[in-house]
A and B are shown apart, each in its own frame.
Chain A
Amino acid sequence: MRLLEQEDRAGIWSRTSGGRKASLLLSKSAGRHKRRASIIGHGFLLTITSLSAVAILFIFYFIFRDALPFFQLRGLTEFFSSSRWYPSGEPSEFGALAIFAGSGLVTLGAVMVSVPLGIAASICLSDVLPFHLRQMAKPVIEILAAIPSVAYGFFALVVLAPMLQEQGGQILSIVVYVVGLPLLFLGATVLGDLFSQRLAGTHRGLIRISTTALLVGLGLLALALLGRRLTGLEISSGTNALNVSLILGIMALPTVVSVSEDALQAVGRELREGSYALGATRAETMMKVVLPAASSGILAAVILGVMRAIGETMVVWMASGNAAQIPHPWYNYLEPIRTLTATIAGDMGEADHVTGSARYHVLFAMAACLLLISFFSNLASETVRRRAMRKTQGT
């Protein structure tokens, strides 16, 4: 009996090679083997997949395990409310408020650079550019993500910082023009459109053109005034929040562009065609149909961009100046600042167990805060994106 079964199995294996005995039916034991193999295979794949999840749990565990002693040693108040950061002073002080403020400031700056540019670029890519141009433009933007951050940092320190010191005013005004002009034309066109559509009658086209021209003129005037004011500005230190914000904004750009472009693409052709069929112009379709429909996807893109900016280390360590202060006034981007990531990177070397326990654990406390921030941002972006998916699928 047993022998027979074995022969049977041998038969299965030899079947493919065109052996002597071609049995198509699986024997009982072969079925059992197959089931076992499938369980083992599933288990193996599950283990590999869950490894990454387990890794995250481990990261949480180890960071919080080393962060906790700091709060036990020093309490919460100093860390979150004081801005005096003297980890190596005597007595040492661990007020991280200015460092949190620095991280926040830089992230806000990066968002202000990357979000308008990123959304404009994604609209352009998804709805304006012809297909073959889009195929060329998108990879170019994505190259930005492939540049190592230390290269960005080197550029910020060696090229951008001296440039800001020497011709800071001119550069700022050029940036204002570069960002402001497209926004101005876009805004003026859309506003002119929206304004004139309320009016009926024969002069509609004329009114539209004249309001748009008026808006453009006013905007140009404002831009020119702002530009002139900025040109006279002198930047004393080039390694400041502005420098880092610009670079981080550019670094976050590919993320914002590709995610929000996906969101815009996900808004189907039907919605756009429906809008055109109702007589809407291209601008109206964009502003009133496509953008609102894709808004949660774009929000997810913004959150991902924020995470990219807040977690970046090398650039801020090299080019932010690392001065643990809250600028006066707080929105003064021309002052050097210090961020959480740069502090962790910069202070890790000396802060071993020997040189003082609080000094070592405070870095983990910062890492834990960063981890929580990015964890909740990720959660938020995931929720938003899921909502977006449901919305575009029309359920």
Chain B
Amino acid sequence: MNWKLLSIIGLSFVLIGSAVADERIAIDGSTTVGPIAKAFSEYYMEQNPGVNITVSESGSGNGAKSLINGTCDIADMSRFMKDKEFNAAVEAGVFPVAHVVAMDGIAVLVHPSNPISGLSVEQVRDIYLGTVTNWKELGGPNKKIIAISRDTNSGTYETFAKLVMNKQKMAASVEYVGSNGGARQRVQTTPAAIGYVGLGFIDHTVKPLKINGIEPTMLTVSSGTYPISRPLFMFTNGYPELGGHLHALVTLHLSPNGQEIIEAIGFVPVTSY
């Protein structure tokens, strides 16, 4: 009697323990990709209650490091791995495989009353560098340009700083705004303003500019023709075992639900259902 009870209790502990131990997935890396990883893991844990996923955001570089050290299963990265990281990984017996989970595109906005409809990447950079300060110089009205940037904390800023600014430093006169919505609000109320936001924040109150002649749309971003766009990666060690939870997680973006999640948090999905 007693033995039976004890063994049942013991067995159940072993079962619970193994269930938890088997389905633990650690994700680390980029703060830009972090929201996707978080949304994915929330969705996935809801569908599969046995699985325990932890997501940390320590930056792309640290994500790569954790993957190499084996402290995470998925490394979120907003850039591709550098040669050095790749070599270090192979030396450590880790074979990074990239999964492009979404595209990140940034739209450059002006006030609807602004006659300018397109700029080149260099012109946008000159505005933010402070070398072009009047719309007149770009063929617009004689008005001082009010350049509005996202705060340096944001992933949007990082993307813009890399793809447009080439890591050059913005002029001191650039104004900083704490959110994508705030940036749009400033542009829609300021006739001489220029700002940039994630693609999901374009609406009829502002005018997105063509960059190098290409309009920022889901299509141009996902096809890679729009210049201010980049792929967002999840790296795994080798291609994950088919049918496993890891495999399901890094291919979630290919399902209709995954596409919906990515669209909901303002990124551009790679699929179009």
Interface residues of A (CB under 8 A from B): 83-90, 93, 98, 157-158, 161-162, 165, 236-239, 317-318, 321-325, 335-336, 338, 346-347, 349-351, 354-355
Structural contact, B172 and A98, CB atoms closer than 8 A: yes
Give the segment of B14-22, B76-84, B186-194, B220-228 that binds chain A: B186-194
Chain A, Cβ-Cβ closest to B58: A354
B residues within 8 A CB of A161?
186, 189-190
Chain B, Cβ-Cβ closest to A351: B153
Structural contact, B176 and A346, CB atoms closer than 8 A: yes
- Given A236-B146, A336-B173, A336-B175, do A350 and B152 touch, yes or no (CB 8 Å)? yes
- Given A162-B190, A236-B144, do A88 and B152 touch, yes or no (CB 8 Å)? yes
B residues within 8 A CB of A323?
172-176
**Cα A89 to Cα B176 with chains together (Å):** 15
**Cα A165 to Cα B31 with chains together (Å):** 35
Structural contact, B191 and A165, CB atoms closer than 8 A: yes
B residues within 8 A CB of A162?
189-190
A residues within 8 A CB of B189?
158, 161-162, 165, 238
A-B contacts, 20 listed (Cβ < 8 Å): A84-B169, A157-B185, A161-B190, A162-B189, A165-B189, A165-B191, A236-B144, A236-B146, A237-B190, A322-B177, A323-B172, A323-B174, A325-B172, A335-B173, A347-B151, A347-B152, A349-B153, A350-B152, A354-B58, A354-B59
Interface residues of B (CB under 8 A from A): 31, 58-59, 62, 143-144, 146, 151-153, 157-158, 161, 167, 169, 172-178, 182, 185-186, 189-193
Chain A, Cβ-Cβ closest to B165: A89
- Given A157-B185, A317-B178, A346-B176, do A236 and B192 touch, yes or no (CB 8 Å)? yes
Smallest CB–CB gap between B119 and chain A, Å? 19
Q: Which of A98, A351, A355 contacts B59 (CB 8 A)?
A: A355
Closest 6 CB pairs of A and B: A325-B172, A322-B176, A350-B153, A162-B189, A321-B175, A88-B152
A residues within 8 A CB of B178?
317-318, 346
**Cα A86 to Cα B129 with chains together (Å):** 13
Smallest CB–CB gap between B162 and chain A, Å? 11
Structural contact, B152 and A87, CB atoms closer than 8 A: yes
Structural contact, B167 and A350, CB atoms closer than 8 A: no
Q: Which of B59, B151, B158, B186 contacts A239 (CB 8 A)?
A: B186
**Cα A273 to Cα B167 with chains together (Å):** 72
Structural contact, A237 and B143, CB atoms closer than 8 A: no
Smallest CB–CB gap between A197 and chain B, Å? 52
**Cα A86 to Cα B167 with chains together (Å):** 11
**Cα A323 to Cα B174 with chains together (Å):** 5
A residues within 8 A CB of B158?
88
B residues within 8 A CB of A239?
175, 186
A residues within 8 A CB of B169?
84, 86, 89, 93
Smallest CB–CB gap between B222 and chain A, Å? 28
Smallest CB–CB gap between A212 and chain B, Å? 44
Q: A158-B185, A349-B153 are in contact. List 6 more A-B contacts (CB 8 A).
A: A161-B186, A165-B189, A237-B190, A335-B173, A346-B176, A347-B151
Chain B, Cβ-Cβ closest to A317: B178
A residues within 8 A CB of B192?
236-237
A residues within 8 A CB of B152?
87-88, 347, 350
Structural contact, B172 and A84, CB atoms closer than 8 A: yes
B residues within 8 A CB of A236?
143-144, 146, 192
Structural contact, B190 and A238, CB atoms closer than 8 A: yes
Smallest CB–CB gap between A86 and chain B, Å? 5
A residues within 8 A CB of B58?
354
**Cα A347 to Cα B157 with chains together (Å):** 13
**Cα A85 to Cα B167 with chains together (Å):** 15
A residues within 8 A CB of B151?
322, 346-347
Chain B, Cβ-Cβ closest to A89: B169
Q: Which of A89, A346, A354 contacts B153 (CB 8 A)?
A: A346
Chain B, Cβ-Cβ closest to A91: B169
Chain B, Cβ-Cβ closest to A158: B185
A residues within 8 A CB of B193?
237
Smallest CB–CB gap between A20 and chain B, Å? 60
- Given A157-B185, A323-B172, A350-B31, do A237 and B153 touch, yes or no (CB 8 Å)? no
Q: Which of B62, B167, B175, B190 contacts A90 (CB 8 A)?
A: B167
Chain B, Cβ-Cβ closest to A236: B144
Chain B, Cβ-Cβ closest to A161: B189
Chain B, Cβ-Cβ closest to A353: B58
B residues within 8 A CB of A86?
169
Smallest CB–CB gap between B171 and chain A, Å? 8
Chain A, Cβ-Cβ closest to B153: A350
A residues within 8 A CB of B176?
321-323, 338, 346
Smallest CB–CB gap between A109 and chain B, Å? 18
A residues within 8 A CB of B59?
354-355
A residues within 8 A CB of B182?
157, 318
B residues within 8 A CB of A90?
167
A residues within 8 A CB of B167?
89-90
Chain B, Cβ-Cβ closest to A356: B59
B residues within 8 A CB of A324?
172
